[in-house]
Amino acid sequence: METKASPAVAGAWSTARDYLKDLQSSGVVRVRRSLMPAIAMTLGAVLAYFIAEYGLGHTAPIFAATSALVSLGFGRDLTVRKVLEVAVGCTLGIAVGDLLMHLLGAGLWQAGIILFISILLARFIDRGVILATQLGVQSLFVVLLPPASGGPFTRSLDAIVGGLMALAITALFPRDPRVQPRRDLRELVDTFSTMLRECAGALAEADSTQAWHALVRGRGSQGKVDAIRASLVTSSEVTRLAPAYRRHRAELEEIETAVEYLDLALRNGRVVARRLASVINNAALAQGAAESIAQLLEDTADALEDMARGLIAERHEERSAQMRSARLALTEIAARTHPRELRVERLEGEALVILLRPMIIDLLEATGYDRQEAVALLPRLEG
């Protein structure tokens, strides 16, 4: 009995050890990324509490600190608008709770009525989830906590102080608007380049299943495209509001333009992956053609990663050098996108090459070529 239990215990211990190791490494990354937001949240909560207590003379103004803390938060897209939305939700929730408690009194059934009214009021004001949650939670706290010594609307004033403090910190010390778009772009390009390498591997090994895996990966990338577009909207708002970051507007516009073409290239890449599975199943490519196209896909993935390094590099000189490298590599790749160059002989293989060409055009445009220049770089197909 003891012998049978031993492998199970050893397996459980190994799993737990791997989990703790992963948790440690991911936890260190999260702590490093959260250092500045944590400082802002702490500073906002402490200053709001200090102002409400010593400036306004309120006793234990906990709602000033919580309003600032919740408004700043660890939100992915922390903007003045989102901070204002949370701050208004906090303040309005406390004000509604104060008012209804003044009219209905305190108690459990009163708390239920106040919570119900607060949630419906939030839905009437705005369709967003954040406002409804904050308004409901804060109004519930007002009813369930002991009444404030300074009067019925003391806590509402504390919440206003906290919200204003959060807005001031967001406007004066915004997060670097380039950080999140760069991170999102890196993830998007990693997904794209991995998809291309999987397609290359599928050709090299004549494995249609691997081509389908590449297609699934490509289809799952749309969420990353949507995420980077959202982070770019947020970052653009920061560059408009914060004088210190206005100089980065052109850099963000460059990323935004590239993302639009990368989205188109990804869509065309998914079409290529889907066709690839059929080509492999029908043995439509000779060995030489399969190797040539696989190499072209590998080279395209390399150029794509050069482009990403150029878009996310800190220094202008490094960005220019990497983009120039990506542009030259894609120009050379474009010159090879002809069935004859890739040793393709059968019609189905030619169709695959024709499908590759729009993807290469999109990537060329992402590096700065206009449409006509990109098309001109591809070899003409005989009519």
In this prediction, residue 2 carries a pLDDT of 47
In this prediction, residue 303 carries a pLDDT of 92
In this prediction, residue 198 carries a pLDDT of 92
Q: Is the pLDDT of residue 1 over 50?
A: no
> DSSP characters for 238-265?
HHHH-GGGGGGHHHHHHHHHHHHHHHHH
Kindly provide the b/e burial profile for residues 174-184, where b requires at least 16 CB atoms within 10 angstroms of the residue's own CB. bbebbebbbeb
Burial class (CB in 10 A: 0-12, 13-18, 19+), 223: exposed
How far apart CA 292 and CA 348 sit, in angstroms, is 15
Identify which of 268, 297, 261 has the alpha carbon closest to the alpha carbon of residue 355. Answer: 268
Span 59-88, mean pLDDT? Answer: 70
Q: Is the pLDDT of residue 70 over 50?
A: yes
Confidence of residue 358 (pLDDT cuts 50, 70, 90): very high
How far apart CA 84 and CA 73 sit, in angstroms, is 12
Percent of the chain scoring above 70 in pLDDT: 80
Q: Is the pLDDT of residue 74 over 70?
A: no
Which residues contact residue 15 at a Cβ distance below 8 angstroms, ignoring those fewer than 6 apart? Answer: none
How far apart CA 242 and CA 262 sit, in angstroms, is 29
Span 204-229, mean pLDDT? Answer: 87
Q: Is the pLDDT of residue 347 over 50?
A: yes
How far apart CA 293 and CA 338 sit, in angstroms, is 10
Q: Is the pLDDT of residue 87 over 80?
A: no
Span 258-262, mean pLDDT? Answer: 89
In this prediction, residue 360 carries a pLDDT of 93
In this prediction, residue 149 carries a pLDDT of 65
Location of structure tokens 């894609």: 330
Question: Which stretches of the chain are DSSP H helices?
Answer: 2-50, 62-72, 80-104, 108-125, 129-144, 154-172, 179-205, 208-219, 222-241, 249-281, 287-312, 316-335, 347-366, 371-376
Q: Is the pLDDT of residue 243 over 80?
A: no
Identify which of 301, 374, 380 has the alpha carbon closest to the alpha carbon of residue 331. Answer: 374
Span 224-238, mean pLDDT? Answer: 81
